Amino acid sequence: MIIKNNPEHVSTDQIVLFPFDDYSIPFQHGVRLQLVPYRAGVDRTRIVVHPGPPDAPDSSRVIYYGSVHRVGDELWMWYLAQGDDDSWHHRVCFAKSRDGYNWEKPELGLVAYNGSTRNNLVDIQGGQYHIQACVVYYEPDDPDPTRRFKAVIETSKYTPKFAVMFSEDGLRWHEAERHLHAPSCEMSGITKFNGCYYLTAHGGSHIGPTRQMVVYASYDFEHWIEASCLGFRRGNIPPRPVVYGAHQGEQVHLGAALWNRGNVILGFYGQWHGPENNDRRHVTMDIGLVVSNDALHYREPIPDFQMVEAAEDDFEHLPTPMNFKHAALMQGQGFENVGDETLFWYAPWPEQLSNGVRIATWKRDRLGYFQTADMTRKTAQPRHVISAPIDLEGQPSTVSLNVDGLSEYGQVTVDILDEHFQPLEGYTSDDCLPLTSGFHQKVNWKSSEWIKRKETIRIRLNFTRIRPEDPKVYAIYVEKARES
């Protein structure tokens, strides 16, 4: 199925309509968008990967700047770590988990550290070079099994250019052929869209001294063009004042960690708040949300909204000593839906203050919702939203909702429209059967549980009954029907 929300639309088995994706849900009447932030708060910072014991390669600092991917029935994490070296030298470590909270550091036996290979170091450049970032992309269906795992790393071997690595098992990595014109950037996210790989970072050669999000492209993951797309910027745009200091003002740190949901890409970016004195020691940094429908151009659903708040991270009540470090976070590549939760991993910034990888959580896919707005205003029609056109490609399909707050007093109904906004017989609001709250509640009509139409459709969702302000709609899922 294909949603026609941008010139580069692609065919997918599932379409997810998030309220914060206004290209997929462009038409709205009497509703408001609310995003759902995560804040650790006092005594609630959840560190899931801690520094290791003395003599371990991560004994001093667990820094992240890495990635999390689902591999089979496990979650695998690649993270950067600092041991007890005299010099500043990050190495790439490995951990795995089944639930995203409890992580095991297996003894891999690949790279010697402090005279022993009984550690969780992966073999990237033999651990000989300082690694500043390691962004991993997992592609299990790659026809070349030696390239199932791909990575872009920032390494002291080629400073300031990045290097490309490949691996069959995610643990033993070999370097791709070196190319003279590799880009120079600080990166955090990778995705693949319409057959092309896209890397997000800050850097590039665009005008201006401040950090903005740039996007690099490659069709084979090995040859990356040096030109980049200015995918998202925060500063130096009127009415904001023009900033001259490299660390001043609102900027984008490391690009964005990316979650490709097929018809939309979610990005969590480093929301850099630079001080007027241009001193990085006073920078604070939250994590914000951007979305894209083409993997190149990103937008903020609510400007400057803090999806993961840095405030009071690692702050605990007495008798724990007060930590006076400024509040700043860094994102890494990794999102996952596990059971009824959405998980995201992050860490403190700067690296020398990072004491472990944290976890931020939401109820599954509940990052933002539609709710009715201004109920004092009378309207002829119920509050509603309408999707972009959807081509089901001749496949019977279902509609399900991630919705809360439903009752006999407040409900939502779903109409199926044609491309010209006309209701289709048998799929009207009057035909729609009542729903209950849940993460994936299937919509049924009186005469059908599937949509069986060859023409392009739109989905209209209505807020109804005497308390239409009660329901919260977090996502609409359109999926190919499965034979029962």
pLDDT tens, residue by residue, 203-246: 888 877 789 999 999 999 999 999 999 999 986 665 555 666 88
What phi and psi values does residue 185 have, to the nearest 5 degrees? Answer: -170, 170
Nearest to 402 by CA among 8, 16, 2: 16
Query: So what's the pLDDT on residue 239?
Result: 57
Per the CB < 8 A criterion, the answer to whether 114 and 83 are in contact is yes
Going across the sheet that includes 284-292, the strands are 38-39, 306-309, 284-292, 265-274, 249-260
User: Do 416 and 459 contact (CB within 8 A), yes or no?
Assistant: yes
Instruction: Report whether 369 contacts 473 (CB < 8 A).
Output: yes
Q: Is the peptide bond before 37 cis (omega within 30 degrees of 0)?
A: no
Query: Backbone dihedral region of 222: left (phi > 0), alpha (psi from -120 to 50 degrees) or beta?
Result: alpha
pLDDT of residue 243: 63
Please name the amino acid found at residue 76: W
Closest CA to 126 of 178, 89, 76: 89
Say what the pLDDT of residue 374 is: 78
Predicted local distance difference test score (pLDDT) of residue 44: 78
Position 314 scores a pLDDT of 76
Residues in the chain: 484
Q: How many CB atoms lie within 10 A of CB 386?
A: 17
- Asked whether the CA dihedral 101, 283, 132, 213 is positive or negative, the reply is positive
Determine the Cα–Cα distance for residues 308 and 289; give it in Å rounded to an integer. Answer: 9
Q: Which domains does the chain have, with CATH numbers?
A: 2-36+369-480 (2.60.120.260), 38-364 (2.115.10.20)
- Percent of the chain exceeding pLDDT 70 equals 95
Q: What CA dihedral angle connects 417, 419, 422 and 424, to 10 degrees?
A: -40
Determine the pLDDT at residue 240.
58
pLDDT at 384: 97
Structure tokens at 367: 């990052």
Q: Which whole-number Å values give the CA distances from 339 to 98, 148, 288, 336, in the listed order? A: 11, 26, 24, 10
Helix, strand and coil percent figures for the chain, each rounded to 5: 5, 45, 50
- Using H for helix, E for strand and C for coil, what is the string for 240-297? CCCCCCCCCEEEEEEEEEEEECCCCEEEEEEEEEECCCCCHHHCEEEEEEEEECCCCC
397: β partners = 451, 480
Query: Which residue ranges of the chain lie beneath pLDDT 70?
Result: 180, 235-244, 317-318, 320-325, 483-484
Which residues lie below 8 Å from residue 382, measured CB to CB, with a gap of 6+?
30, 462, 463, 464, 468
101: which 2 tokens? 């909270």
Q: How far apart are CA 210 and CA 203, in angstroms?
A: 9
Closest CA to 108 of 145, 68, 57, 152: 57
Rounded Cα distance, 207 and 216, in Å: 16
Comparing C-alpha atoms, which of 255, 292, 290 is closest to residue 272?
A: 255
pLDDT of residue 238: 57
Per residue in 288-309, pLDDT tens? 999 999 999 999 999 999 999 9
Report DSSP state, residue 366. Answer: -
Q: How confident is the model at residue 390, as a pLDDT?
A: 97
pLDDT at 41: 75
